[in-house]
A and B are shown apart, each in its own frame.
Chain A
Amino acid sequence: MTADLQAASDVLTRQDLLRYYRVMRTVREFEERLHIEFATGEIPGFVHLYAGEEAIAAGVCANLRDDDYIASTHRGHGHAIAKGCDVRGMMAEIYGKATGICRGKGGSMHIADLAVGMLGANGIVGGGPPLVCGVGLKARVTGTDQVAVSFTGDGGSNQGTFLESLNLAAVWNLPTIFVVENNGYAEATSPMFHQAGIEIAKRADGFGLPGAVVDGHDFFAVYEATREAVERARSGGGPSLIECKVLRYYGHFEGDQQTYRDPDEVPDARANKDCLLLFERRVTGDGLVGADELRAIDGEIATLIDEAVAEAKRAPEPALDAVLADVYVSY
């Protein structure tokens, strides 16, 4: 048993492991199905898929409570599922239907559910980090031990808001965690052309906060790094930065031909670094759970996603007068 799994297995029960596998599998199935359904032309707007990066959302959110918050990115489905958003409502939202989690007003890029601490996917790169500073401030002012996590891409980590938020969180000693998902591209541009410095995690040094680099394909590595950061934040130790190195399996958005990418990159990652594969090898290899238990989960998830897609397609369109609703609070 490797050291981090050793550590994880001290705190993770069999039930936990099955739960986190279920989260990752749900995200994967959700994304693979969207990839297929998007090609039929029935899904409106832009869809940015998270497939390949599941271990990050699952590993981070495994450490969070319902009353903790996350702020997500344009690539937000995985974060939303891991934080507990309703999968059927999310699917209906992506189809723009009245039964959607945001009543069809937001679509893929704006999925949110404050009831489970999901502050929203975000169409604005760098929109999330300042928001989690606000959540951290709320926890400090009202004396709760809530924490808030923002997810940002490698591209987004160059946004002023990201760097300003690191500083603000450090100055105010806020219970916040800045997770960077470094998936190798900002749209079509590799960090070679947009990133100065050695590692994004090193930027934390300049603000005097801890910065860690982890393998974003490895659930246990993400889990451990987040566990440490969450403990620090909850106990008044302030913010942290975690950089997860990972690859995305699909284009920047659905329809992207990915001409900027080495064609071997994704097949290689799928064969050798897939987070589900790595997770399964380790938990079954160590005899913590059986492969048959995982297959049973796979079956349940496949059914759930089938149903979610069918329901979303059947669901009613929003009523036309909804266009004027919810601009302001109504009294």
Chain B
Amino acid sequence: MTRKITYQQAINEALAQEMRRDPTVVVFGEDVAGGMGTDQEKDAWGGVLGVTKGLWPEFPDRVLDTPISESAYIGAAAGAASAGLRPVAELMFVDFMGVCFDQIFNQAAKFRYMFGGKAETPMVIRTMYGAGIRAASQHSQSLYPLFTHIPGLKVVLPSTPYDAKGLLIQAIRDNDPVIFFEHKVLYTMQGEVPEEAYVVPFGEAAVVREGDDVTIVALGRMVHMAAEAADTLAAEGVSCEVIDPRTTSPLDEETILESVERTGRLVVVDEAGPRCGMAADIASLVATRAFEFLRAPIRTVTPPHTPVPFSPVLEDVYVPDAACVTEAVRSVTVRQFT
């Protein structure tokens, strides 16, 4: 049965269903129960935005609030995973990752390789990313390229409620450390989601729109900017193929390369910064592996190389929108190699 629910509900449902199915799944983080001890409330916060609401009453022993001690509890997730639990740790905002990065990139990410393939670290870190709510420089970053850079970590970026549920279930069942990026602006987005549990495999891009003239690869929230641009351009007679990689590690290189081989043009749209980011990485993939198919220069659409500003007017010029994508596509359809 499929019905419409929000991205946030899809995540909550994935957690609840996996906890019911598998008694080794535990959920912890700051305020994930939150106020559970107060007399008048049987279930209080469920995290700052209520994403884990309802889990504590059903699984009081497997939903744990943590101190504000990210090194300790993210590291505990790695240790617990090594010993046989399937922890889902919530790191409220990805911006706080700086506090506990060692436990992720030197510990969790390295175990399987460093221990000769004999270790499993089936842990998930759910975290919130992205600009758009006037949360300023320390609560708005899109840091997924940092994690994509590190071998051993899987990096997931759902752009729809359907993908959020299926990718999170895959993440929980996956035997590697997975960083699961939830865009704060997408939480209220509605979409069709099956009631039963299902998985969306890692490393398989979604072709969101099919088209012949230009390939647009867009990530996370930017998938919606790209789709909107594709609609505008369709009315002008430009046919865009919009690809959502869904996971940046592993990255579905084949779908991207095959598409560019057909369209001969590439625009990459990414909310992460331009330097050493996903847009640069995907542009380089195509430039090195499909150069002979290109009929125009590759264009990337990203924010500028600055921190995220607080002021609403500045934040709005910082984040790429559909108009930026439309403009970039027009520029590659006009300029052509001879």
Contacts and interface: CB of A to CB of B under 8 A. Distances in A.
B68 A110 contact: no
Given A45-B136, A159-B99, A260 B68 contact: no
Interface string B297-338: 000000011110111111001100000000000000000000
Query: Which of the four size classes fits the interface of chain B?
Result: 35 or more
A99 to B, nearest CB: 11
A44 B310 contact: yes
Interface string A89-120: 00000001100001011110110000000000
B135 interface: yes
Interface in A23-80: 44-46
A160 B73 CA distance: 11
B37 A324 contact: no
Max count, chain A CB within 10 A of own CB: residue among B45, B67, B306: B67
A235 interface: no
A110 B70 CA distance: 21
A320 interface: yes
Contacts of B70: 159
Contact of B311 (A123, A187, A318): A318
A284 to B, nearest CB: 38
B110 to A, nearest CB: 21
A13 to B, nearest CB: 40
B98 A262 contact: no
B305 A327 contact: yes
B71 interface: yes
B99 A260 contact: no
B35 A109 contact: no
Given A156-B68, A327-B307, A260 B38 contact: yes
Contacts of A110: 136-138, 310
B29 to A, nearest CB: 10
B122 interface: no
Contacts of A192: 37
A138 B40 CA distance: 50
B138 A46 contact: no
Interface in A160-201: 160-161, 186-190, 192-195
A78 B133 CA distance: 24
A194 B72 contact: no
12 contacts: A105-B310, A106-B310, A123-B138, A124-B99, A155-B67, A188-B31, A190-B35, A259-B38, A318-B311, A320-B314, A323-B314, A327-B306
